[in-house]
Structure 1
Amino acid sequence: MSTTNNSNDVEKGRVQNISNNAGNGAGADVEPFGPNSGDPVSYQRYPSHIANPGPTGVFAFAMTTFLLSMFNVGTRGVSHPNVVVGMAIFAGGLTQFIAGMWEFPRGNVFGATAFSTYGSFWMSYATIFIPGSGILATFSNPQELNNAIGLFLITWFIVTFIFLLAVIRRNIAFSILLALLDIAFALLSAAEFTGSAAVQKAGGAFGIMTGLVAFYIGASELLHAEPQAIARLPQGLLHT
Structure 2
Amino acid sequence: MASNTSEKGHVSTSNNQTEYSDVEQGRVISTGEGRAHPSGIGNPGPMGLFAFASTTFILSMYNVQARGITTSNVVVGMAIFGGGLTQFIAGMWEFPRGNVFGATAFSSYGAFWMSYATIFIPSSGILAAYPDPTELASALGIYLVAWLMVTIFFLLAVVNRSIAYTLLLSSLTIAFACLAGAQFSGSVMVTKAGGAFGIITAFIAYYIGVSEMLAAEQHAVIALPLGTWR
TM-score (norm 2): 0.82
Aligned to 1:148: 139
User: CA contact under 8 A between 2:55 and 2:75: conserved in structure 1?
Assistant: yes
Match of 1:138 among 124, 129, 136: 129
Where in structure 1 are there 5+ consecutive unaligned residues? 1-8, 19-26, 33-45, 230-240
1:207 aligns with 2:198: yes
Q: State the Cα RMSD in Å.
A: 2.0
1:30 aligns with 2:34: no
Aligned ranges for residues 1-240 of structure 1 at < 5 Å?
14=18, 16=20, 28=24, 30-31=26-27, 47-227=38-218
Aligned to 1:35: none
Where in structure 2 are there 5+ consecutive unaligned residues? 1-10, 29-36, 221-230
Distance 2:196 2:41 in 1: 36
| Corresponding residue SS for 1:86 | helix
Provide, for residues 196-226 of structure 1, a one-character-per-residue CA deviation record: whole Å limited to 9, x for no partner.
0000000000000000100111111111111
Distance 2:39 2:163 in 1: 27
- The count of residues paired between Structure 1 and Structure 2 equals 198
Provide, for residues 132-170 of structure 1, a one-character-per-residue CA deviation record: whole Å limited to 9, x for no partner.
100000001001000000000000000000000000010
Letter in 1 for 2:87: Q
TM-score (norm 1): 0.78
Letter in 2 for 1:191: A
Return the structure number with greater helix share.
Answer: 1
Aligned to 1:21: none
User: CA contact under 8 A between 2:49 and 2:209: conserved in structure 1?
Assistant: yes
Letter in 1 for 2:124: S
Distance 1:187 1:83 in 2: 22
Distance 2:41 2:219 in 1: 13
Aligned to 1:41: none
User: CA contact under 8 A between 2:88 and 2:110: conserved in structure 1?
Assistant: yes
